[in-house]
Amino acid sequence: MRKLMKKPGSGSVRIHPILSKDLESHMDRVTGTVVRDGNSVTFLPSGVQSYEKRWELLARAQRSIHIVAFSMMRDDTSRRLQELLCEKLRQGVVVRMIFDDAVIYSTFAGPLLEGVARAGGEVIRYHKLFRGILPDLRQGHPFRQLAQIFKIKMKRRFHEKYLVVDGREAILGGINWGNKYAFGGIKPKAWRDTDVYLSGPVVADIQNQFVRDLFFYRAMDQEFAQRKNKSFNRDEVYRQAEEAELRFRHENAAELFPPLPEAGSERIRYIAHKPYDRQQLPLTDACLMLLRSARRYIYWGCHGIRPPQVIAESLVDAVRRGVEVRLITNSRRSARTLMFFGLLGWMYWESRNHYHYLLANGIRIFEWQKPGAFHSKNLVIDDEVASIGSYNVARGSTFHHTESNVVVYGGNFPLQVRQQFEIDFKDCRELFIEEIKAPSEWADPYRRPLHNRNFLIDAKLLPDAVRRDLKALRQQSRRKKDLN
């Protein structure tokens, strides 16, 4: 499928725009990241493949194990992880972990993490659910404050999934810890998911982000513990955390950042997405940049297709340029295996409210037909670039959740990802607009007001339709401010 592009009126070959130096420089600026040369990447398109590599890396860890994940199930796989980590701690290996707090309550896996902490590991639970929930009576109506606090608590979640061992090797993708992930590829009800195994200079970027997060989240926990529910200067806490982090890096440089010689020929960019920690949307900006550079096809998948308008319009613009856009997501049946029966069916029906608009504008949607959920978050464009990680085609990832992705440029890796999509399409059923009822006005996600967090997106990347709506929203806000 790979085609070379020629300059009009000449026989010279020019590089695909998605691999151009101009786009690379723009993405450097927008995301605050760089592309690393000399890496090796191994595609792990099933839980069985990922866990085989995970157990191998953990078993040979000698200095440090860093694990981040959205969730952990209370089952045999997670108990095996706990036992292995406790054994590694006895051997003198440093174990540090970051998990989302809210989801651990839903999986009842707290005792497993507590067991690792008692053995000497450090476990941080991100943005604790029951921390800072009391309203400040000096700030207005308490019930309105509670509603806003609850809303942010649900939206601000830690959704990343990766493992770094000895600062030398990493596994990153969409796979959490538990049986339903570990048995993917061998048990029908296990989930279809994807990771990648990485070695080379890009691993230092992932390790660097882990250390940064570790000190910031640790400092936030300590500050809340000292001040209880009282407000504090977040910027000052962050400054102090940075100072402590720099000292730690200097004192532990050998453990954290060993020399990483070239391991292959892959060019890889790692992007950490911290919407509330940094008030930036780097992965959203990166995805918009890649989508607008597509020339032939875009294949993208996740557990629930719910793109906000800024993503939807970018996909529609691609179709208008002649790009084939295909999205994979769950069927009603497979969605029931997601958390809390797909949050009691909401995930599927909310996704379906998006389908009519997408299908009407030429975007093709494929629903997964196997009993276990489709949970893979792969994106591949034109056989030229592929992104693997935790970022979903949904509002949560676009605006609210922390995420981690790698973007792999050129080489054979994008071809492997596209070939896996072709396998997955065979296990899907394509939807057609005739079978999708248009949502009512109140349920239509594309009639809702744009979220203010759209203003965090690089304005140059906004589709025209979104740019016009944001301009109107800004003018409306100014009028209200003038009236008040």
Nearest to 124 by CA among 50, 168, 67, 85: 67
Least confident among 102-116, 214-228, 255-269: 214-228
Residue of higher predicted confidence among 474 and 101: 101
CA 387 to mean position of chain CA atoms = 10
Torsion of CA 48, 109, 204, 90, to 10 degrees: -100
List domains and CATH numbers for the chain.
Answer: 16-26+267-474 (3.30.870.10), 46-193+202-256 (3.30.870.10)
Q: Provide the pairing of β-strand 122-126 with 94-100.
A: parallel
SS (H, E, C) the chain: CCCCEECCCCCCEECCHHHCHHHHHHHHHHHCCCEEEEEEEEEECCHHHHHHHHHHHHHCCCCEEEEEECCECCCHHHHHHHHHHHHHHHCCCEEEEEEEHHHHHHHCCHHHHHHHHHCCCEEEEECCCCCCCCCCHHHCCHHHHHHHHHHHHHHCCECCCEEEECCCEEEEECCCECHHHHCCCCCCCCCECCEEEEECCHHHHHHHHHHHHHHHHHHHHHHHHHHCCCCCCHHHHHHHHHHHHHHHHHHCHHHHCCCCCCCCCEEEEEEEECCCCCCCCHHHHHHHHHHHHCCCEEEEECCCCECCHHHHHHHHHHHHCCCEEEEEEECHHHHCCCHHHHHHCHHHHHHHHHHHHHHHCCCEEEEECCCCCECCCCEEECCCEEEEECCCCEHHHHHHCEEEEEEEECCCHHHHHHHHHHHHHHCEEECCHHHCCCCCCCCCHHHCCCCHHHHHCCHHHCCHHHHHHHHHHHHHHHHHHHHC
Tokens of 431: 């939807």
pLDDT level of residue 235 (50, 70, 90 thresholds): confident
Q: How far is CA 320 from CA 22, 253, 295, in A?
A: 23, 50, 11
**Residue whose entry in the numeric block shows the structure tokens 């101009």:** 22
Least confident among 94-103, 211-220, 454-463, 473-482: 473-482
Are 198 and 170 a contacting pair, CB within 8 Å? yes
Average pLDDT (76-82) is 98
Q: Nearest 5°: CA angle at 346, between 341 and 350?
A: 140
pLDDT at 8: 47
Q: What is the mean pLDDT of the chain?
A: 92
pTM above 0.85, yes or no: yes
Give the span between the Cα atoms of 248 and 299, in whole angstroms.
42
Instruction: Tell me whether residue 379 is exposed, middle or buried, using C-beta atoms within 10 angstroms of its C-beta: 0 to 12, 13 to 18, 19 or more.
Output: buried
> Looking at the predicted structure, is the pLDDT value of residue 406 above 80?
yes
Average pLDDT (183-211) is 97
Tens of pLDDT, residues 140-178: 677 776 777 777 777 899 999 999 999 999 999 999 999
